[in-house]
Amino acid sequence: MRRRDFLKGATVLGAGALPFIRSLPASAATDGVVVVAMGQTINSLDIHRSGTNRPSYQVAVNVYDRLVSFGTKTMPDGSLSYDYSVIEPEVAESWEFAADGSAITFKLRPEGKFQDGSPITAEDVKWSFDRAVSVGGFPTVQMKAGSLEKPEQFEVVDEFTFKINLLRPSKLTLPDLAVPVPMIINAKVAKEHITSDDPWATEYLHKTPAGSGAFKVVRWDPGQQLVYERNDGWTSGPVPAVKRVIVREVPSQATRRALFERGDIQVSFDIPNKDAKELSGTDGLTIASTPVENAIYCLNPNLSFEPFKDKKVRQAIAWSVPYEDIFQTAAYGRGVPMWGGPSATPSDIAWPQPFPYSTDLDKAKALLEEAGYKDGFEVPLSIALDQSDWMEPTALLVQENLAKIGIKATIEKIPGANWRTASLVEKRLPLHLETFGGWLNYPCYYFFWAYLEGHLFNSSNYRNEEIETLTGETLYLPVDHPDYAPKIKRMIEIAWDEVPRIALFQPALNVGTRDMSGYEYWFHRQLDARGFKT
């Protein structure tokens, strides 16, 4: 099969098409088509749907627009990154804060169009925001982080004027409108598929996007591929340079690497640290490794599991972890170490920063004995199969050291498509590896998601009254407020002492490209194909 024939047939090939990718010739992308390989599974096309996993967020980025977006900057090494300091228009052409700070009024682009050609109106924006704050779970809490909490806040002034009435002044409100969640849905289409049991058309939008973004989804074979086609009528930015992007789900790390090295794919997304290290410097290949802001890879003891209710047991686990071995074996030295901090009291509010733990098996044994677990206990240690590149070697090293302090850990491997539900939604895994990267780059935002009771990334079922109070107080404070830094330091001190999350290292996102340009790092760590060029 010739490469051109394969690409033309991408929309008609079914689940059995994946093996044919091996027959593509090693050549540059042709006909404005870019082929991407990634190891994770897309399980929904609707970021608002309960259980939608992180790899699926890319659909919200490529297929939907938001009122505003972050800008782009060029890094010292010449790579591209989003710019958190710049807010740019997307569906909104302008916005204005009320003089008393009580509201933000957005003027929509009058030429704005959805992919079906219908106009983007303030009614569509309101319905989309009403949906985001009402469906529950992750999207609703994400909106709440920016003080966007109830439909009554959202007002249609006229056809192209939308107003947000603010509950309180907050540094997070405007940037929160630029994250993937507040996407603007074609309400006219969605409402046709509402039922009494499904008032927000989640079943329809799960498989059939209704957006205005730079790309359309023309095929989705779950577990196999997602095919994007350029939206030539995009009104919220420059029309993409590429016509089509084919995203292949290739679970095998070895296969992804071989496809990339041969030139059968142009983008290898979120590649393992080992491959990133070994391929860096290879002629014709570009490896971008970006430390993920506000992100930590963690070992999480679940407080629903009886032994982990005692913080001494959690501290014992923290002292048992072979941090350096994990960093070299699982991260291949890429990223930033998050252990060995100099003090149990933070000196500044940088986040993330190293926790005050290192490997000390004697301390770990002593703490277990103090807690009444001198003879240890048994516990499952859970990992996600689609993150096995770092999770499996980490789990094996943790398992080995836990055995040295009398704890028998049995490694449980969970399919990637089921991981989010088990770890984050149901929060039922006694001991597990996890990662969270806060989209808005503040320590209070990280704590909002990862340490507050019931919030999605608090997979440890942790609650601390002081953390609850301090997070609520700091979330809305300006960073230059005199109370902000002392409160943040106290939050970090508590988190270090109680360790419901045991920090391992700050990860790097590794993306390999060849025969194309325009890759841009984004905080959400998902594919953004809008700037691709061949």
What is the C-alpha separation between 532 and 245, in angstroms, rounded? Answer: 9
SS3 state of residue 486: helix
pLDDT, residue 76, reads 87
219 phi, psi to nearest 5 deg: -160, 140
Residue 5 has pLDDT above 50, yes or no: no
Residues 111, 160: contact at Cβ < 8 Å?
A: no
Q: What are the pLDDT digits (tens) for 161-209?
A: 999 999 999 999 999 999 999 999 999 999 999 999 999 999 999 999 9
Question: Whole-angstrom Cα distance, residue 282 to residue 230?
Answer: 31
Average pLDDT over residues 77-93: 94
Partners of residue 37 on adjacent β-strands = 248, 268
In the chain, which segments carry CATH 3.10.105.10?
295-506
Provide mean pLDDT across the span 365-381.
98
Residues belonging to the chain: 534
**What superfamily does domain 65-195 belong to in CATH?**
Dipeptide-binding Protein; Domain 1 (3.90.76.10)
Tokens of 274: 């080992």
Q: Which of 87, 51, 52 is nearest to 66 (CA)?
A: 87
Instruction: Specify the pLDDT at position 77.
Output: 83
Given a contact cutoff of 8 angstroms between Cβ atoms, the answer to whether 334 and 371 are in contact is no
pLDDT given at position 62: 98
Q: What is the pLDDT of residue 318?
A: 98
What separation in angstroms does the CA of 238 have from each of 231, 337, 471? Answer: 11, 39, 39
Q: Whose structure tokens read 């003089």?
A: 99
What six digits make up the tokens of 472?
């609520």
Residues 498/512, Cβ–Cβ less than 8 Å? no
Residue intervals in the chain for CATH 3.40.190.10: 1-63+213-290+507-534
pLDDT of residue 26: 38
Neighbouring C-beta atoms of residue 71, cutoff 10 Å: 13
Distance, in Å, from the CA atom of 414 to the CA atom of 423, rounded to the nearest integer, reads: 10
Taking residues 421-430, what's their average pLDDT? Answer: 96
Residue 81: pLDDT over 50: yes
Strand order in the sheet with 80-89: 68-74, 80-89, 520-521
pLDDT score of 30: 60
**Percentage of the residues of the chain whose pLDDT score is greater than 70:** 94
pLDDT at 20 (0 to 100): 37
Q: CA distances (Å), 171 to each of 38, 293, 396, 440, 457, in order?
A: 35, 18, 42, 10, 22
In terms of Cα–Cα distance, which of 469, 492, 382 is closest to 427?
382
Q: Which secondary structure element, helix H or strand E, spans residue 37, and what is its range? A: strand 33-38
1-63+213-290+507-534 has which fold? D-Maltodextrin-Binding Protein; domain 2 (3.40.190)
Neighbours of 72 (CB within 10 A): 15
What is the pLDDT at residue 386? 86
User: Would you say residue 29 has pLDDT above 90?
Assistant: no
| Interatomic CA distance for residues 531 and 74, integer angstroms | 13
Q: How far is 168 from 157, CA to CA, in rounded Å?
A: 21
**Residues 6 or more apart from 35 whose CB is under 8 A from it?**
7, 21, 24, 29, 245, 246, 248, 264, 265, 266, 267
Note the pLDDT tens digit of each residue in 321-337.
Answer: 999 999 999 999 999 99
DSSP state of 240: P
Q: For residue range 461-495, list pLDDT tens digits in order.
A: 999 999 999 999 999 899 999 999 999 999 999 99
CATH assignment of 295-506, given 3.40.50.1820, 3.40.190.10, 3.10.105.10, 3.40.630.40? 3.10.105.10
Asked if the model's pLDDT at residue 3 lies above 60, the reply is no
Whole-angstrom Cα distance, residue 419 to residue 26? 35
Would you say residue 27 has pLDDT above 50?
no
Classified as helix, coil or strand, 420 is: helix
Q: CA quadruple 160, 166, 171, 176: dihedral positive or negative?
A: negative
Residue 498 has phi, psi (to 5 degrees) of -95, -15
- The CA-to-CA distance between both ends of the chain, in Å, stands at 22
**Is the pLDDT confidence value at 1 over 50?**
no
pLDDT of the residue at 28: 39
Q: CA dist 357 to 112, 341, 353, 499, 526, Å?
A: 53, 7, 12, 10, 31
pLDDT of residue 90: 98
- Give the pLDDT band (50/70/90) at residue 51: confident
Task: Judge whether residue 508 has pLDDT over 90.
Answer: yes
Of the ranges 18-22, 63-67, 322-326, 381-385, which one carries the lowest mean pLDDT score? 18-22
- What is the secondary structure of 270-328 as a DSSP string? S--HHHHHHHTT-TT-EEEEEEPTTEEEEEEE-TTSGGGGSHHHHHHHHHH--HHHHHH
Q: What is the mean pLDDT of the chain?
A: 93
pLDDT of residue 281: 93
- Residue 72 pairs in a beta bridge with 82
Token pair recorded at residue 170: 């907050």
Residues 53-80 have a mean pLDDT of 94
Helices 311-320 and 361-370 pack at an angle, to 10 degrees, of 160
Residues 6+ apart with CB under 8 A from 2: 25
Q: Note the pLDDT of residue 24.
A: 42
